[in-house]
Structures are given as C-alpha cells and as structure tokens.
Amino acid sequence: MLPHSLTFALILFLSTFFVNVSATNNKLPKGFSIDLIHRDSPLSPFFNSSMTHSDRAQNAALRSLSRANRFGQSSTAETSELVETDIFPNDGSYLMKISVGTPPVERWALADTGSDLIWFQCSPCPQCYPQNAPLFDPKSSSTYMSLPCGSDPCNSLPQFSVQGQLYPKCGTSNECTYFYLYGDKSYTMGELGVESVSFGQAASFPKTVFGCGHNNNGLYNMNNAGLVGLGQGNLSLVSQMGNVGRKFSYCLPPYSPKTTTKLRFGEEVAISGNGVVSTPLITKPGSLSSFYILNLEGITVGQQTVQTGESNGNIIIDSGTTLTMLPSSLYEQVEALMKQAIGADQFIVEEGPYKLCYSNANSIQNFPNFEVHFTGANLSLKPQNFFRPISNDVTCFAMLPTGGMPIYGNVAQIDFGVEYDLDKKKVSFAPVDCTKQ
C-alpha cells in the first residue's frame, strides 16, 4: 500500500493583475502563473520535520511504483465493476492552492495531471476522510449551482457501476449524482455543480464544473481538501479554462528547501532558445484520452542505444510522479548498460524499491552520457535526472521497471522547461536553469 502520511503543499502566487473571466463575455485572462511547492518542501505548512531524507526518497519511490501499477491493474480485481474507464491519480507530489465559491474559500488540493474532475469535500459529508480545513459548504456560497442529470457536463463523466447502480445518475431533485473512482480504488461521490474557481487575484473562472463530494474515501491526506484534475478531458481545469488552458508549462528545479515551481498558463508560457525540441502529444481514445502520452523510441547509455521499436505512444509524461517507470524489458537493458558504464560495486538496499544503488564510498566518478529519445526530441539528461541521492551515503538510479503504465516522471524533468501545447499537439523541452525562472 501507499504510505499515507502524505505531506505536501503548493503555493499559489498571485499575478499582479486581476482578470475577471465570465463565460458570457468570453473575457479570458491571457496568461497567469502559479508557483508550486513540492510536498516535501519545508515551506509547506504540512512539512514533517521528523522524516529523514531517506524516508522521503523511499516514500516517493513507493508512490511512483504504485501509480504505475494501479494503472496496469485497472481492469482486474475489484474494479471489474468498472464500466467505462479508469482514472489515474497523482502520487501527490504537488498541491495547489485554489479558491472556490463566493465569498471565496481557499483550500489545498492535489494537482493531478492524470485525471480530470475538480472536486472538494463538501458538507454535509456522511463519509469524508478527515481534513484540517473546514469542509466546503455549498450553501454558504452564492455562486454554487447544482447541475441536472442529463446535462452535458454530467454526460461527460465516466460511467461507473456501483452495486448494480449506474453512475452518473439522477438524484432526488434531478441533480447529477456522480461516482468517480480512481485506479487505486479511492473514490469521490457526490453532486455535480458549477462554482466559481479562482487563483488568488490572478484569474477567476465562474461556472466551473465542480464535484461536491459527500462520500469520499481513499488515500487522501487530511491536509488536502480535494483534487484538481489537470488532464485533457472535458471536466479538467485545463479544459475548462478555455484558451488560456490550451498551453501550459512548468520548470522543475532541483529539490531545495527554498525553490518553487512555476505552473504557467497561456501567454505566461515561454520556453525558448536554441535548445528547444518538440515531440508529438499522442491522443488515444477511451480511458487513455485524459493522459499526456508521448512516444519513447529509445534510450542511450554511454554510446549504446536501446530501441523500443514503437511509434504509437508508449509513455505518460507526468509532473506528479517522482521516478521514471520504464517497461520491464527496456529497463533491464538500460540497467545493464548503466551498471557496465559505472563499473563500481553495487550497493544493495535491503528495503526496495530502488534497484540500482551505489554507496558514496565508491562514489561514481564518471556518469555516462544518458539520452532519452522521444520521437523528434532527443533529451540529454544530466546525472541529477537519472540518479537520486536517497541518503547521505547512497545514490540510486531514478528509474524503475513496471509491468503497468510507463511514466516519464519529475526527476527526469528537472531543469527542463516543459511546455504542453494542446492545440499544436506537442510537448516541448528546453534545458534551463529552473532556479533562475
């Protein structure tokens, strides 16, 4: 199981301008940016100072594994009840601060590129997981409006069958009653409504489709009041922001207590320079349609390249998963080349899941050249992108094998500007010093 002491946070920075957005006059903000703080940052109000660096490294690895596995197991076991789709939750690397309602209430919510629905725990809540902040009360908001069953947003929800009952369904007052199940069996159940959503003074989005969860369960953390889906589906924040959501970028700095991550939207997005390379964003139908899928052609270690021989999209890019999860056969070959290139004695870490580790005593003198070949975009990674210190003495290869869904995780993305362009259907990368962004 996942470690559930999820302590994380993200802080939203305010732009200097206020843009009011209205669905009726189509005045959209042209761009704004949000600063994120990693869950393990001491700046996070939920930082657990008694955890060691190795506890955090261990937890991050377990979350990455779990995230990939959940996806791979989606059609089995208890989820056989599942009718249409599976939803893939974030491992909880980042939280974002989001305001909901009128007057606005500010809450921390998981930022998740692997799912779509935006939801909060709402009162009354017969079954909520505990949270520190008060529950959101739709009755105290003048802008909350429930949506009827049969409405377009209600029909955009994935369908689930729970104990013979098909969701979404019509509630007692004809409201849209939803059930939203994640791959790890966490779920939220409640009423679909529209509500005003805002990010400080930077941007506000009235009439955002929003789930008011009255029965929620799973591996959430008491510090987060809900979840913000940033996937490609109709109900995600990205999709509901209109044009400004069609382009977004981030630049993840190496972990340090003081650095923040910028999530930029619209015109604030700016990755540029000679080093920019782009790879197609591959759209898949059905349950994969929310994900940001790229095609990984191969990986070079030193002078040797392992090819996947694939071209149709085989890996999800995700800012919320820590480690990179490779298909097992590819992983084995890459690991073998890495061992050979490093040549030092391996350090055996008793408690997995890291597989290839070295103690700093035989510290690695020469890290090999390491390139990731996406279709059209070759990325040359630095050692910090593929090795990760898990304690003062031990450093480990930051990739793992999975029989589930391969994921290009956030360690591999450190010090790259990463831009998602949903209209041009491409993801671009540029090597950048993200601490200077």
Ligand X SMILES: *[C@@H]1O[C@H](CO)[C@@H](O)[C@H](O)[C@H]1NC(C)=O
Please report, as ranges, the residues that interact with ligand X according to CB under 6 A.
5, 48, 50-51, 55, 155-156, 234, 305, 373, 376, 378
The SS3 call for residue 123 is coil
Which CB, 155 or 256, lies closer to ligand X? Answer: 155
Which CB, 164 or 285, lies closer to ligand X? Answer: 285
Task: State yes or no: is 421 an active-site residue.
Answer: no
Question: What residues have CB less than 8 Å from 41, skipping those under 6 apart?
Answer: 9, 47, 257
ω into residue 29 within 30 of 0, thus cis? Answer: no
Distance in Å, CB of 77 to ligand X, minimum: 25
Phi and psi at residue 434, to the nearest 5°: -70, -15
Q: Of 86, 91, 184, 318, which one is the catalytic site residue?
A: 318
The SS3 call for residue 249 is strand
Question: What residues have CB less than 8 Å from 178, skipping those under 6 apart?
Answer: 117, 154, 157, 167, 168, 188, 189, 190, 191, 192, 211
* Cα dist from 104 to 99, 201, 206, whole Å: 6, 11, 11
Task: Pick the closest to residue 70 from 183, 180, 182, 181 (CA basis).
Answer: 183
Distance in Å, CB of 102 to ligand X, minimum: 26
Q: Of 112, 116, 184, 415, which one is the catalytic site residue?
A: 112
Which CB, 283 or 305, lies closer to ligand X? Answer: 305
Distance in Å, CB of 233 to ligand X, minimum: 7
b/e sequence 227-262, b meaning 16+ C-beta within 10 Å? bbbbbbbbbbbbbbbeebbbbbbbbbbebeeebbbb
Which CB, 151 or 201, lies closer to ligand X? Answer: 151
C-alpha to C-alpha distance for 317 and 315, rounded to whole angstroms = 6
Distance in Å, CB of 305 to ligand X, minimum: 6
Which CB, 55 or 106, lies closer to ligand X? Answer: 55
Distance in Å, CB of 373 to ligand X, minimum: 5
Which CB, 28 or 105, lies closer to ligand X? Answer: 28
Task: State yes or no: is 55 an active-site residue.
Answer: no
C-alpha to C-alpha distance for 162 and 336, rounded to whole angstroms = 45
Which CB, 217 or 234, lies closer to ligand X? Answer: 234
Distance in Å, CB of 156 to ligand X, minimum: 4
What residues does 394 pair with on adjacent strands?
A: 359
Distance in Å, CB of 142 to ligand X, minimum: 27
C-alpha to C-alpha distance for 318 and 94, rounded to whole angstroms = 11
C-alpha to C-alpha distance for 398 and 231, rounded to whole angstroms = 25
- The residues annotated as belonging to the active site are 112, 318
